[in-house]
A and B are shown apart, each in its own frame.
Chain A
């Protein structure tokens, strides 16, 4: 009989769980998610990611990439196992402070302008001197003229750019990005590759679910998922990505 309460169990510590490395940027231990209907399954994933890595998370549709990112961000609750950000259980205040998560479709307020969104998220995350950086980011994505417009009325691509700006304006040590290239025009895609490379150069870790081959030169590692299981963890090459996406 299952417990009447769905509260998470006490998280393990390095003392109780020797596999746990508090220095890892992101670590999962026996991480599983089962919706009960066979959808979005992720089973017993043990993955450790260090600082300054740019990981390409690849796999065919339904492989569990979005579920993995949702679990690592603390937005989804695991059926079993744990995810840690910098040694802190996902979803805790410390993990939230260190993590920037961009879901596949940008989530934006209906009643805040682009500028107000940026200010809100920056201040909510204690970004120091965010104003100049915000202007730079907005300029890089070509949205300077739209700063006072409501992003909720933007096109899909412009919403995606807004979501990326909001993910980048705040300090973070780990960034989880789900299909960030979808909807972006070519200059937007180039800008994103450039920014993600910069971010990694500065020591942050980026886990990016994408099949975009433009990111291959900047990526340091590739993680392949299929049917919720880890099928590849190693060097990133265009051929390997094609193979993993094809599901062969």
Chain B
């Protein structure tokens, strides 16, 4: 007979022991310094965000119209969060248990739910707290524009965002506890997002996530339908906890190993390793059969070998990666649309989205970097070979920029979009391809070598490694600021002239790439 109570007691005792060991290792000055830095960054962000808001306050009638239209958009955002949860759950997430926890605790004669419950509650609590914090920020900022009580706005937004955070996490747990495979999970995610899109287009409240979003607008108008969203969260949390222990141990062990490596790579700022591990975590493998097979050339060909090899790589991209690249292009387009409407910092989001998409476009370059022995075996300068790979990456980024242009049409007139797209597509696509190639080709930092420069210099070098590549893409988008905000008097010449600087920057980046050489571990 298995004495479950005694083993659970042992589990709790040892968790207490581990907690006290960890606390003994915490240096309180370091911890306080971290809290101070987070608070400082938070305050700066609030100040920056509030500075971007127009000073006009909406009238009561305008606020009511806003409360009727905006929940659909917020509901769409929540649907995206739940979609991410579904995707994670379909791949064994969202919980990341340590490998020894999987090996010793999940294999012990103790109910698995007892092992997993603690981490699950911790994650729900964290996401509820993070959601509440973001909600409070949104509530405080919106109360400056809306004729509402600031306390009510903060409370309702906090509640809505906290519930959304819990819902996303609980959905993932419910899915992994029921061992739903990735494809139906992704299908449900797409359906939910599609439902919310229909709500946005039709300006209706039919999706439960739109109903959940309605809570944030209660200070303007209380609608009982918001309670449906609350009920949904409670239901999903209950569903998640009823089958918590049925998670796949195989998935748990795989995630444990990969996430440990991922954290280490993040600590080292080794972006390429982070990308690779993230792909393994989401089981994103190249297709066994390419979308289109490029056959062997039958006779002498003038097609550059790197160009052909690159397209062979792209044609093996799995569907999720292609969808992600298109999605990032769309995010960039929407951000640029928001920028056109007056929120200038949105250009940074657009730049980062294109930079991330370019990371996938730089995959063939990354393959050279990952295999230094092969890379240096070619009878060609290593840097020059990387430059050859840039051509295909540039073309891929032009395609991504097409998605950006189409998405921008949602917020910007057609006349403006096409003129600016033509003026900027070459420098932006080029800069994005160059920036991702720079980041990929610099490889993992040589920490031992940098340490010799002293901690101050090392800190700056490490910072530059992370900041400079995406900054190149952001800078390439800055000429858009010179276009003006009047669709009838668009300053395309000014944009074109300014884009020369972006091309110059991309050229400098190419020079840097030319100097790259294989690194051996």
Binding site for B on A (CB under 8 A): 2-7, 37, 73-77, 91, 93-94, 96-97, 99, 101, 103, 107-112, 116, 119-121, 123-126, 166
Contacts and interface: CB of A to CB of B under 8 A. Distances in A.
B249 A75 contact: yes
30 contacts: A6-B179, A6-B180, A6-B181, A7-B179, A75-B107, A75-B249, A75-B250, A75-B253, A93-B2, A93-B4, A96-B108, A99-B107, A107-B100, A107-B103, A109-B100, A109-B104, A116-B21, A119-B14, A120-B17, A121-B108, A123-B6, A123-B10, A123-B14, A124-B10, A124-B105, A124-B108, A125-B7, A125-B108, A125-B109, A126-B2
Contacts of B102: 107
B18 to A, nearest CB: 5
Contacts of A119: 14
B104 A107 contact: yes
B110 A74 contact: no
A94 B100 CA distance: 20
**What's the dominant secondary structure at chain B's contact region?**
helix
A108 to B, nearest CB: 6
A4 B107 CA distance: 26
Main secondary structure of the interface of A (DSSP, over half): loop
B327 interface: no
B2 A6 contact: no
Contacts of A7: 178-179, 246
Smallest CB-CB A-B distances: 9 pairs:
A97-B109, A123-B10, A4-B184, A107-B103, A6-B179, A124-B108, A120-B14, A109-B100, A7-B179
A109 B18 contact: yes
B248 interface: yes
A93 B111 CA distance: 7
Nearest to B110: A124
B222 interface: no
B22 interface: yes
Among A37, A99, A119, A121, chain B packs the most CB atoms within 10 A around the CB of A121
A7 B247 CA distance: 9
B13 interface: yes
Interface of B: 2-4, 6-7, 10-11, 13-14, 17-18, 21-22, 25, 98-100, 102-105, 107-111, 178-181, 183-184, 246, 248-250, 253, 285, 288
Which of A77, A107, A124, A126 counts the most B-chain CB atoms under 10 A from its CB? Answer: A124
A126 B183 contact: no
A96 B250 contact: no
Given A77-B250, A96-B108, A124 B179 contact: no
Given A5-B181, A107-B100, A126-B7, A116 B14 contact: yes
Contacts of A111: 18, 21-22, 25
A126 B250 contact: no
Nearest to A163: B103
Contacts of B109: 93-94, 96-97, 125-126
A126 B21 contact: no
A73 B107 contact: yes
Q: Which of B10, B98, B285 has the most CB of A within 10 A?
A: B10
A112 B110 CA distance: 20
A22 to B, nearest CB: 17
Nearest to A120: B14
B265 to A, nearest CB: 17
B6 A126 contact: yes
Nearest to A91: B249
A112 B18 contact: yes
Given A5-B179, A124-B11, A116 B17 contact: yes
Contacts of B2: 93-94, 97, 126
Contact of A4 (B13, B104, B183, B285): B183
A190 B145 CA distance: 77
B250 A76 contact: yes
A89 B184 CA distance: 28
A91 B107 CA distance: 7
A235 B107 CA distance: 32
Contacts of B17: 112, 116, 120
B323 to A, nearest CB: 20
A173 B80 CA distance: 49
Contacts of A120: 10, 14, 17, 104
A7 B176 CA distance: 10
A6 B18 contact: no
Given A4-B181, A124-B108, A107 B11 contact: no
Contacts of B104: 107, 109, 120-121, 124, 166
A33 B109 CA distance: 25
B510 to A, nearest CB: 37
A4 to B, nearest CB: 4
Contacts of B3: 126
Given A4-B183, A94-B2, A116-B14, 18 more contacts: A3-B181, A4-B181, A73-B107, A75-B107, A75-B250, A94-B109, A101-B107, A107-B100, A111-B18, A116-B17, A119-B14, A120-B17, A121-B108, A123-B6, A124-B14, A124-B104, A125-B109, A126-B7
A185 to B, nearest CB: 24
A77 B248 contact: yes
Contacts of A4: 180-181, 183-184
Contacts of B105: 124
Contacts of B107: 73-75, 96, 99, 101
A90 B303 CA distance: 56
A6 B464 CA distance: 46
Nearest to B21: A111
Nearest to B9: A123
A247 to B, nearest CB: 27
A6, A76, A103, A112 interface centre (most CB from chain B within 10 Å) = A6
A6 B185 CA distance: 12
Contacts of B250: 75-77
B426 to A, nearest CB: 40
B110 A108 contact: no
Contacts of B10: 120, 123-124
Contacts of A123: 6-7, 10, 13-14
Nearest to B108: A124
Contacts of B103: 103, 107
B413 to A, nearest CB: 44
Contact of A109 (B98, B108, B179): B98
